[in-house]
Structure formats: C-alpha cells, structure tokens
Structure 1
C-alpha cells in the first residue's frame, strides 16, 4: 500500500465527497494508527500485569482506589481495542483497492481507531503509581453497635440483603408490630451496606414527623442549609443534590405512605443503583408507598428462640444463682410473647436479680399488667411496663420519664438532663456536687438497662423509639391523661400545640419548629417544665403567657436565635429554679427577674448582644451562672457575683489584665470557674505566665488574641514531690476536668507543654500563634516532670492546628491517638513530622484535612505509616497551578485564605434553575480573630496604589476616618484590599485589630452592624451604649468590601474615635481626597500578567510572535481579570489560533467604554473557544448567587440533569471551565463537602445576563 491514495467517485456518490475530503486524514493514517494501537495495547497490558503483581505481594494489604480504577479502565478498553484490531484486515484490504465502497463506515472505523489509540496512550501515561497499596484498615475502622440476631432473624436479614442486591428491587419495605426487631434489622442493613459501593448512606427516624422534618434530616446529612425556603424549594434542592449520587436511604418507622417527589428523593431504579429501605408497623404504609418493590414481614420469635435470647441476656451467673430461678425465668420469657425488645430489656433488667422473691415479683407484675391492659393496640407496652415497675427507687423512675420530654431520635446532652433534674427538685440533695454525681449515676443505670443509648462520644444520650413510647404512655397515666406530657417538634410545626385541658399539662416541649410567636392562648397553670428551644424563627413571647405559669420551675429558651427580649411578666414565675437563655439574641434581662428568689441556675452563654445584667446581684440563691462568650467581666460585675454565696459553677468572659488578676486572686470565684473565655487585650504581666492553679474546676479554656507568653500549672504547690507522673493526676484533680482548649491569636505563646497534665482533654484547637514552635516541648517535659515518657492525648477526639508558621513538632514520638476522629493541619510550613505510626488511630474512622503541601514534605515514620495516612489527603479533584502573584485575581469577593473570620452576607435570592439557595450569615462564631499573612505576596498589581493607601491609613487622627478604594469590575481593587490587611506594617499599625467583611449587593445590615459593633466595643455594650473612654486610645481597622450604596455604608460606619473604615466599591463612596482609584495596568505590567497566564512565565517566549501578544494585551484594556481569562484560553494554542482570536476580539470591542462591556467582550471571546456543551453549562451557572461556594457534587448533578451528560463528562466540563479561569476551585474543610467551585465575579455577571 502506498503512502497516498486518491478516490474517483461517480456522479451518484457526490454527496459523500465533502464528507471524505474533510475527514481524509483519519483514513490516510489508518494503517499507521492500527500499528500504533497494537503496540500501545501490548505495553498497556504489560503495565497492568506488573501493577497487579505489586498489589498482590502481601496478604494484608489492599490496592489504592485510583489503582483499582485504572485497572478497571484498562479492562474496559481492552476488548474494544481487540475488536478494532480483529477488523483491521478487512478494512486495510478495502483501502488497498484505493476506493472505499462505504466511505461513511470506513471513516467511522478510522475515527474509532484514533479515539481508542488516544485513550490507550492516556491510560499508559496515568498508569505510573509510586504507591499502589495501603494496609487494609481493621474491620473495626467504623465502630458499629453489636447486632444480636437469632437463627430466624439471621435468615430474615440475609433475605432482606439479597433483595437489596437484586437489581430489580429499588425499594424494600420491612413491616411488623412494635418491638419485633425492625429497627435492629435496619441497623444491620446500614452497617453492612455503608461499607459497600454506596457513595451516601442516610438514616432517618421518621415516626410521626411530617415531610419538612424528613427533608431537614436528609438536608443535614447532605450539608444543605435552609433559610425560609418552602417545602417545594427544599424538595428541588434535595433532588438536585441526590441526582447522580448512588445512595442508600433508610427510613425507620414510617406511619403512612410517603411521596418521594414531595420530599425530593429520586426514585430508585436499576439505572441509578440507588436503594431505599423503610420500616413500618403497618403493611398498609408499604402498600401506600407505591415505589416499594418488595416487602418483608418481621414476626415474633418462636418460644425456643425467645428463651435462647432471654438466657443470653440474663446470663448464666444469675440463672444459676438459685434452683427456682430458671423456671421463673421461663415464665418471664414466655410473658414477653416473642418480642425481641421485651426479651432484651426485661432480660437486662433481671440480669442482676438473684433472689427468688425478685423474680416472683416480676412474674406477678407482668401478669397483672397484661391483664390490666388486655386490648391495647400496642401490646408490647404492658409487657415493658415491668421494667419501670422494677426500677429501684422513685428518683430513677422520674428521671426515666423526664427523658420522654424530647422529640424522637433527639440527642439529649447529659449535662442538660442533670441540670433539669436538679432544677425540678427530683435530685433534692443540698450539696450540688453530690446531686450532679447522683444524676450521672442514674444516666449510667438507664444506659446499662438499654433504656438510653450513648451518642456523640458519650456527651449525649438518646431514647430508643419504643422505649420513649413506653415512657410517654406511663407519664400520661397509661394513656388516660395524654396531655400530662405535651411534646411537639419538627420543621412542619408552625403553631403552638392545641391543648383541650390546659390544667392537665405538667411538662411541655416545643423543639425545632417554625413557630414565630407565642401568644397567651395556652394557660397552663400546673406546668412545671417548659422546654422551648432551637426554634430558629421565634421572636416574641407574650407576657400573659408567663403570667399563667405560676408553677413553672424549669424554663429553657436556648438556641432561639431571633429571640431578643423577655417580657417583664417573667417576674410572675416566683417558683422558677432553672432559666436557660443561652444562644439567644437577648439584649437585656427584665428588671422583674430580680423577683425570682428561687432561681438557682441561670445560663447566659453565647448571648453576645446582652448589654447589662445588674439584676444578678439580687439572685442570691444562684448556684450556677454562665456568661461564656457573653457580657465581659468587670470589677462591678465581680462585686455582684461575690454576693452570690451559694455559687458553685461559673462560666465567664474576661477582657483585660487587671480584671483577670483580680479574679484569680479571689479563691471562691476562681475555684468555681468551669469555662473561661479570655478575650483580646488581656496581657499577663506577672512573670508572663498564666497560672491555672486556682481554677481547679476548669473544663473549657478559650483564649483569643491575648499576650500570654506561657500557660502553666504550679504542680509543686499542689503535691509534695519533685516529679509527677500522669498516673498521679488524682493528686491534682483540677487537670482531670479540662475537656476543651481553644487558643487563637496569642502571638507570644511558644508551647502547650502543660497539657501533659490534662489527660481527659478531648478537643484541642490552636490557630494563628506565630511563635508557637512545639505543642508539647520535650525539654520542658523533662524539666517539669523529670521524665518524658508519658503519652498525652489519650482521650483527644479533635485536633486542629492552623496558622502556626514556626511549628516544628506536635510530639517527639508517635502516639496512639486511640479515639481521634478529626485532624486538621493548615498553614504550618515548618512542620515536617507528624506523631503517627502505622498503629496510630487503629479502630477509628479519622477525618483528616491536611494541606497537600504538608503531605508532600512530611517525613513519615516508615513506609507503612506513609501508606496508611497519605491517602487521606483529598487528591481526587484537579489542582490549580499555584502562583502567589495571581492570588485572588479570579474573584473579586473571594475571602482571604488566612483570615479566620470573614463574614459574607448574601441576598438570599433563590437559585431558580438549580433549586439551591444562598446561605445567610450565621451567628455561630462570636470572636474576632487576628489576621496573619500566609507568606510573601508579590504585589504585582498596583504597587504605587498600595503605597498611597497605606499613607492614607497611617495618616491617622483621633477622629474616625473613612478611606476608599474604587475601581471597575475586574480591576483588582479587592485584591489590593486583601494585600493591605496582610501587610505587616498595616497590621502592626493597628495592633492586629482588623476586621474584614464582604458586604455584597443585598446585605443583612442588622447583623453586619452587630458584628462591627461587637468588634469595636465588645460584648458588654450594645448599640447606643456609652463608649468607654479607653476605646478611643485603640486603633482598629474595619474593611468593608464590595459595598454598593452610600446608604449601606452610612449604616455600617460608626464614628468611634480610633477607628478607620476602608470601603471598597465600584463608585466613590468616600471623600475623593481620601479615595484611591485603582488604575488599569500599564502595558508592561499587563503583558507580564498575561504571559504568566498564557505561557507560565512573565515574558513572551522566544520564537513566539510579540506582535500577536501585544495585540491581544491591547484588546484586554489593562483589566487584570480579562488578561488572565484570555491568557488561559490561548494557552498551548498555535499562532493561527491566536490570529483568529485577535480578529474576534477586535470585532467584539464594545461601542461604549463601560467596564462591564469591556470585560464581557473578553469573556465572550473566551466562550467562542468553548464547545457548545461547556458554553451552555457555563451560562446555566448564573443561577447561583454571586460568590456562592457550590459543592462539586451539586454542580455535577445539575449538569447531568439539565444537559443529560455522563458524570465523567460533567466533571470534564468543570475542569475545562476552571482551566479557562471562569471558575475557581476552593477547598473548605469546615463543611461536609470539602471541594467547591466559585463562579468569578465578572463571569457571574456575564452568565446571569446572557443565559
């Protein structure tokens, strides 16, 4: 066959001529491509075989996921290539005749050969792996509760699993009477399949809750956040998030048929591979859910299986303790009627009963209870009642019933339960510490009896659904007075509960509802406990409502974040003993509060708007006072608190050295402090050491922006020894209590060696401490303890290290970290060793967020450690080229990487096309953190401008100052502002007191004002309060980015002496004399920036047309954003392509000279180079709010849904748009999604206006 050929077509074949001429190169190179394909496939197969040999060398290792995926792709492409090679003989013969009889089919064959050849070459390139295996995690990598299954239950479980594995079964219904073991089976299914191929497993306890509550539970698992969206809006967002994901949804205890479309859940199908499992007591609920494909009934156990389970639960020791007990135990087991729940709970309750009298009593109780309630619909409750009757004393019974006051599946904090019980007087012990101990002992007993389950590392408990049903039944006088306990909750509740006889209500709980106001419609004179918490829209409570509650002793209004005041009528609650107002927006305590002489517990934690609390001096019986992240302690407040002679537990916020020193000198106050927040401007002058000795009740320490060179404990003053071991900590009890430690912005602190003596520490977070060199110093440990052999952090579950530029060591040897669950390390450039080996964290599922740069340079203990831990770093997404000079150029409103608190408020407008919504600013975090630089930033943009603005900032007078930076979109004004707040001289001038906020087009001005006022004045003052004289002597800088109107600026400016406001805007909002106009780049600067984007160097490469570069740069008009976007679009393109781009840019030059049209023209030119699908996808992204961080999965699902793309294609589109600088890749470890895309400002405007 020759090197060329020609074809002569008869006239009838003329329609094929243009087709053939345009594609002849594929046919012309066919023989060459076939030869290359055959050779490449041989090499690829050899690589695959070598790789598999490397993976299988050891038995206890498993291949990395990327290796498995690569091998899978090779196995997928191999038969395709072989098929093409098998057909090659006939195709070559056809060409050898210099005429193709079927030109279209020949072309298609040639094109397939070329496509497969390219894919094979790509696979060969990607098939180089330095690490191909990692040691398999032990089976207990995910902790699971033990599941007890009898023989029949095991068969049932296997049947259910087999149905789920059937591709024709998308949804499975499990039904059976209450207590029969449905939830146990569902939990077993979750445990089995969460380790399988499902990307997402969601477990929701449904119960009587409405659609909105189910949506809320699913949204929490997905990381979606809501404002005031409708049920339909939420359904659209959930549907978008779940589409394209392979999920397993487990819905426990549905009580009626569910409409998946109403919730927003995609229907499971053979194609999407998703599965849904529901449990219900009613087969009718399965039948009403038309999407259920298969059903499984769970029945009671046979007598013999029931006896086997009961024996196993009671235990041989008890059964053998008396010869008559086995017979009586048989009777008890038969009374349980084959219900596994009853057998387990009653068996556990009887496992410590070793006298015949106790067993006979139980037999009697079971017989009488079932006889008393023979016709109950839920026959399990009379049987389970014997557990309640067998409780040892009245206190544990009352405490058990109290737990039913919370919604189903609710995590109840143990500390809250104990405080409620003490408040109600259930634990009526004069010494509070003894009452607390008794409360925790009762919780322990209820957990042991399986009536409560521990969750959240043991800090909370949860009541199983059937047990809660039992408690509510008993509390309502066995169903005769159902209004004794009124419990409502869930997103579907918009009004207070309707009660027929308000005089019957004894306890009421209203939790996590949409209620906005509480009127006087409920007149519950006998109510003793009212828990009304987490109702995020509750703003107002009627005074008359409280006037009728004269018997109230416990009132919990916590986490009602919009509640700003209490009515004066609260003074009528003369019996009130417990009041919780934490996490509310309360501004002041009503004067009538001083009448509450019985009050023993007042919780005001995280009430940052609280202005004054003078009434506290009148509450002489207070035992607990909590002011953590609330009103700052001053000498007047200290005097008031000293009057509280019964005070046992105190939480405080302290700002100022004199107040702290005075506080620590008063032994009675210092010894009662459980939680302490040291705020900014607190300096330790006495030897430079913060001593914790006096605070021996301390549980949580939070230090923010304080000048504290060292934190220490003088253990010699506590024990008579020259050395101390960690095993000796019972001699120094104060260290046993510390659970949480947070340190931020302490510039002098070098180590935290004292933590060796805090063995129970569970949560440690250290950030922005520029002098921190070691977490635990070996040298100091030797000097203080006389040895360095003890292992700290045995109870640590969370460790965060961020912004520690000098940190070199966490600990000098590897540590086991037996309970660690979360590790985050960022901005620690000198850290080279991590305290891990291959045995660290064994048995835990650890979520790790470690900077990729650290992963690259860390010196692992050995190869096994490297293989075990290095894979935790997220490398599944495309990495953007790092260029500090280009930092932030793609996004006007992109927050500073190293500012821990950048507040951004959005418009909250709906994202119409995607169903997603902007998230408004939250008030979770109350502290203002110090800014630190993330390394040298080359101020390529506007160096003269930076100097000019610095001159204006430093020209500081005693009155308030307003300075402006203005400029067109894409000119780099926000970048200039960011560089200024990172600048060492600027930070030094303002003493690191800098606040950066992004305002945007439709800001929440009220919340922004609160944040700024809090930053300028502090927690102890509200709007309009008298400004302390000392405030004027402190310089502070407030940077307001992206301000759109003068009206917004006027509301956000406070004329406080010593404060400078820097406003960044498109138009001039400040005095022109103090406003710097960001200039466009000059030709030399513009060329350098353009070349960085187009050529990865700051000049035109040798041999490339400088004339072409000059023409393109000229068309960009000096706009940094345009230069970067156009440069990226022309990267690696031939000069001919550049010539067409110049021509396109020239024709696209706008008629007018507005900055929007200039940038739009450049973006439009870039879009011309995109394929149609990518262009349409880009335009659809205008539906998202400006600056919105969009999870990768959400974007992919949207593109798959709207444009009918494959997942891989959608991902390729995102990578393409990112490479063109139309999207920015962002990683944020504080969210459940770790990777996001942000549409750059100008791109957002363009997509919004052209879609």
Structure 2
C-alpha cells in the first residue's frame, strides 16, 4: 500500500509542480504586466527607428548590394506587422484587462527582441557611404591667358545661371579645344564659394561608337553607385534616374558626343522638369545638338594669330626666338590654322630643333598637305578623319573631297559647288534644278554641321579650315581613293608638266595659278572626270592635243583665262556635262558644240562672244545656260532657245541682245514667247524693254518660275548675283510709264518688287486692284521698294480700292523720294493692306509726308514691326494717328515689338507715341535733327532693354526725364554724334 501510495504521490507531484509553476508564471506576468507594457513600448519605438533607418539607407544608397535583399524585405514586412499589432493593443488599467494582456505582452516583447537582434545584424552589414563631392577636379591644360577661350568660358558661365537655358551644346571641329574648355569650366566652378549652383557635377565621356552602358557606369561611379555585370541598361537607367531625382540640382557634362543620346534610357531626369538641372554636351556635329534639343549652341572657333603663336611657343620652346628660326616658325605656326591640336603636335615635334633645313622641310610638308611631321597623321589627321568617316554615305564624302580642289582660304560659292556635284553625277540626275539646289544646300549644311566646312567670307559661300583642307587633300591624293585627285591650286605655278598626270586621276585642279601654257601633247588621263583651270589669267591657248587625253571628262572649267577660242577637239569630249567659260573676256567665238550631246551646263557669262555657238539648238540635254554679261552678243536666232526643251536655268541679263515683242518675228531676234515655251524652266534672269503682255495661260507659266530676276525698262540697274539665286526672286521696273500693261502676271511668285523712276504708278495700282478678283492676292511678295515718283499712292475719288489684302505677307516697305506722299495709310487703304506681317518701314525724302500710319477706325496694331527708319521728311508731325476715345487697340501699343527707331532730319516731329504707351522691346534709338522731340519713349518697363541711344549733345541735354535714375542708366548707352551723324570722341566729359 505504501508502495502504491508512494508511486501515486510521484505521479501527481510532477503535474502539480507544472500547474503551480504555470500559476506562478501567470501571476508573475500579471504582476509584471505594467512593466512589460512599458518595455514593449520602448522596444517597439527602437525597432521602428531601426526599420526606418534601414529603409532609408536602402532607398538612398543602392550600392548596398551585400545586403540579403529577400531577408531584409521579409524583416521589414514582419516589423511592419508587429508595429500594427502593438498599436492595436487596448489601453486601460483594470485587473481583468491587465490579466488578459499579460501573456500577449510577453509574447510581443519576445518578438520585438528577436527582430531587434536580426535588424542589428543587417545594420552591421551597412557600409559607410561617402557622399560625392560637388565638383571633382579634372586634370587638363589651362586656358588661362587665352583671351578667346576665356571669353568663351565666361559666356558659358553666363548661360549656366540663366534659368531659361537647360541644355547647352558646345560645337566645333575636332582638335579645336571643346573638351579643354569644359574641363576648365568644371574646374572654374570648383573654385566658386560653397554656395554653388549644383549639388553635383558629373562628367561623362562618350565616344565615336556611342556606348550607353559605358556612359551609365561613369555616371554611377561619380554618384558612388555600384553596377553589376548582369544588370541591363534599362535597370541601370532606372537606378540612376531614382538617384539623380534626389539631387536638388545637377550639371551633367557629356563630352565628345557623336550621336544623339536618349536621356530617358540613360537614366538622366529631363532638365526641363526641375530648376537647377542642366546638361552640357560637346560635339563635332551641330545636328547632334539639335537632336538632343539644346536650347542654345555655342561654337568654339580656332585661336587668333596671337594666341596661336603663344601656344606654339609654349610647345616648341625657346628655339623659336632664334633670329634665323623665327620667320620659319611663324610660317609653320600659321599653317596650323589656329587649331590647338595641330599647334601642340607640330610645336612639340619641332621643339629644340635648331637646323634651318628642318624647319624649311616642315613648312614645305605642311604647305603640300603631306603628313611628314611626327604626330600629324596619327594625332591630327586621324582625329579629324573621324568626322569624315561619320558622314552618312559615300556620295556626301565625295562631295566633301571635291572642296579641296579650291585654293586655300577660298570663299567657295555654294551654288557653283552644287553645279559641280551635279555635273559629276554625285546628285540624283532625276532631280530638277530647284530640287538639285535644295539637295546641294542640304549636303553643304550637313558638312557645316559636322564642322568640316565653315561659313565663308561672303554670303552663300563656305570655306575649309586650313588643316581640314590638308586632311582632305591627303585623303583625296591617296592612290586608294576612289576619287584620286591632283591638287595644285593657288601655289603660283607658271607651267604644267606632262609627267604630273597619273593615268588613275579622277580630279585635277590647277585653279588660281599663273599658268601661261598647257602641254601641247595628249596626256594620259582617260579616267579623269574634272579638270579645273579657273583663274589662270595668263593662259591664252588650249592646245587641241591636250584635251584628247581626257576622254571621260565631265567638267571643264577654263573661266577667268585669256583664251580667245577653243580647239575643235573639244567636241571629242563626248562625256562632257559642264563647260564653264565664265569671265573669259578675250573669248569671241566658240566651235560647233553639236557633238557634245550630253552637255547639261554651259556658262559663257562675261565673255565677248558675238553669237551663240553653232549647234547649240541640238543640245537637247542642256539644263543650264548662262550667257549674261555679254556686251557683244546682239543676235539669238529664232527657235534656238525654244528647242532647248530641258532647259531649267536661263540667264540673259546684261547682254546687247534685245528681245522682240510677243508675236513679232524679226531676223536675228527671238520673241519672248520662245521663253514661254520652255516647260521645265524654273529659273530666269532677263532684261525686257517693257512688261510682256501675258494671257491667262502665260500667268500659269509665271507661277511655275521659282527663281527669277526680271529687269524691265530702260536705265534699270541690271545686276545679277548667282549666290542670290533663291534669296531674291524679284521684278525690277525702271524708267518707263505704266499704261495698259498688267504687271500682276509677273508677281505670282515674286518675293520682291522694285519700281524706280516710273510714271503712271496710280494707274498700275488701280489695274492690280481691278484684276485681283481674277488672280487673288500676291502672297509671295515680302518686300516692296518704290522710289522717285510723283504719284500720290492713293485711290482717285472715282477709283476702286481692294476688297482684301493684296500683299498679306508684306514684311518690308521702302518709300524713297516721293514728292506727294502724305501717309502710308492711304497707300495701304488703296491695296487693302493690313500690315499684319510688316517688320521694316523705311521712308526717305518724302517732303509732303505728315503722318506715317493711322490706326484710327481699325484699332489694328503692327505686332510684327521691328524697325522704323524715317529720314528727311520735313512735314512729318507724328508717327501714328490713334483711335478716338470710343475705340480700342488690339494691344496697348501700336508697335509692341519695335526694336529699332532711327529718325533723321525731321524738324517738325513732336511726338512719337501716346504718353501711356510702352515699347517694351526697344533696343536702339537714333535721333538727328529732331529737335522737337523732348522726351524719349522710355518707361521703367523698357529702359533696361535699351542698348544704344545716339543723337546730338545739345538735343540730349534738353531731354526731359521721369526721374534722374532713368537718365543716369540710359546715359551709359548714349553715343554723341555731330549733325552729320559722325560719332564725337570723348563726349562723356562734356555731357
């Protein structure tokens, strides 16, 4: 029994102990519940802080790639859930509630501690992130002391502080120093005070083969972000974008960009979306800058002579100071054309060389475009050649190589260049004349955008930089080149040797030399397509045998020579497309050209031919004929011009020939209707004695002509500039009386109309008004110039006025020497003009002019008007007549965008505008002998836009001002002149 009792006691003892322990535990939890609740609150707060720190570190610094991402995210989730549970605990102090929560508090407290331990482990895995410095110094040469480069740097710094400019393009040819400039820009910002405009400046270099990932890695390294090998460009872009979005402002410099870069794919936030974000890119291609939507493009040009010499001396050393070396050194430096890269390479290669022979050899090599100097080929030519290699196709490359045939520093006429390209077959022969010009212009622009060509000295010209030309010659003269060339232009040659013509030549240029004679034998140039002998003023004979060796010749240019005739062997050149004999003043006749069946361009302008060459009418492929400036040409046989069925360009200005009236047939004279028969004609330059009488069908012909100059009347100044071929399609009338002829038929495509010394002007205007209902307005007309007229330019009481604007796109109006003109408004009323696009008003010597324009009754304003120039109009009292009190203007100002106001010899002009009117864009004011003007049209709104005010001192001192501050500010822009308009030196001391 005792054994059983003992066993039973043993069996009951353990459960009792567990029960008692559980009771004690619950009692303990109950007694500690208040403390546990307080501990839980403290621990959960610490846990939440740790959670927030980890989450922030992950968001802001994605380079913590060592963190176990899945475990951390699971920890964050559990922490969030636990936080919610703790926040959901009920509050209160009752015994029942305390007992109910006691065990839950213990459990939650244990979970908090477990998460704290895990979170502390993750926290220890974080590394210290170094925040990138705002600017990192970039090693490179300094531009200190280089005036041009320093000015460029200042201009770019100004653009950086302009909030309206977000994207800046820096363009320039290879080796001109674009990268050096932006490196100095970066380092200059580094010197600024701590209050810098950007929180970080990022430098990334592109390359010829744009590698988006390579650029992304450079940006990531700058931002202390790690990039994994397996990450895609899209993933890197997302991370970069997220990181850069956190910067208050950044400057991204993309150096040496060859192709447009998609900023979205790159991972760069668009600068337009946030203040303080800017992008600078450097490129050799302006087209790349356009495609990247730059707000402004800044061109870095070559150094001037002084800067180039200083840079050359730095690299060549003191040897250049030697008396026997300096002249040669200066010549060598000049051959580098101000290109820093070439100057540095050539200067370094000549450093310490004291032998005169070595300098002479270097100079000769540079002048012959031969890369014998160490480093020229590898460091200069190959660097520049990248721009050439990047051109779109082989035809454009060949067009570029053609440019090296011109002499050094030559202003290359763009239209002449296009004519060469067309004749050589580089442009699509299916294009018409206008399309060829447009295509050629596009190629020229592409070459300019690639910095392979530069703007020439004159309008519509381009030129090659000296070093680019050297590169071009080097490539063109290579035996492997498809268009192998012989370039001997502009080097003072007096003769040519037969041995100079390799059989594989494609292009030959002896332009602008002193050649007196050509080889009197057949040279072996069977493959040559171009032969340029232009500008050899002493050349008077072309031997017949010489041309026989050029069996494939397509272009022959003998312009500006003294040749008197051409050999009969010329007709053996069956492939000839262009025969150019411009300004051959001694040339009196041409051989029969019937055999040149493929000839498309014939230019005999400026010659002394007395008649057109025999067989011209058989040249049905002829597309361009220029026989202008031929004072001895008096006959053009009937049906010669009309048979040239493919003629597109015809220039007959300033010949001795007189056109027959329409319908008349006189021996030796061609009636003008023959020109009307040319269905493909799109460009015409001709002098007519009177306005041709055109039928309705003829008007359709005039609409087809896209480019023209029609000189009508006696005494008209007959000038023609080929470079203006598309810029100035105009009708110029002079010295005749308008009667029943209708000029409107010639104005359908006219951009400009000039009328000088003509009678019957009102009659002509009335006829325009009457017939306008048949043909409509003259929408192409942009410029109107009328001078030396006694007409009043207003409708007669019984006359008709236009019911709509006959010149809706008129931009410029010039009225000079009108004896009876009283107001431009009357003329405008006559033709229904609203002047909605008028930019320039120029009035001179109109003694009866009392009012410039009236807006009374219309309320219309001249919103496009930018310039007003009025001189010698003694009766003029006011510029504008305003609406009465019951009418309102379309804007608060008659000319809200006026920039320039020039007034001379207007002694009765008293007011310029209303007292409350403000011309907010005024920049330049000029007053001469306008003594009744007492106050300038300046207010606090436009005084800061003024850039120049010129006038006589006495007049300036009498002006009235709203306040002294305004007077003081404007005085800084005042230029004192005398009564003749000449600037007075040292006028500041006597103002």
Fold similarity call, TM over 0.5: no
Q: TM-score, normalised by structure 2?
A: 0.44
TM-score, structure 1 normalization: 0.36
Q: Greater relative contact order: 1 or 2 (C-alpha under 8 angstroms, separation 6 or more)?
A: 1
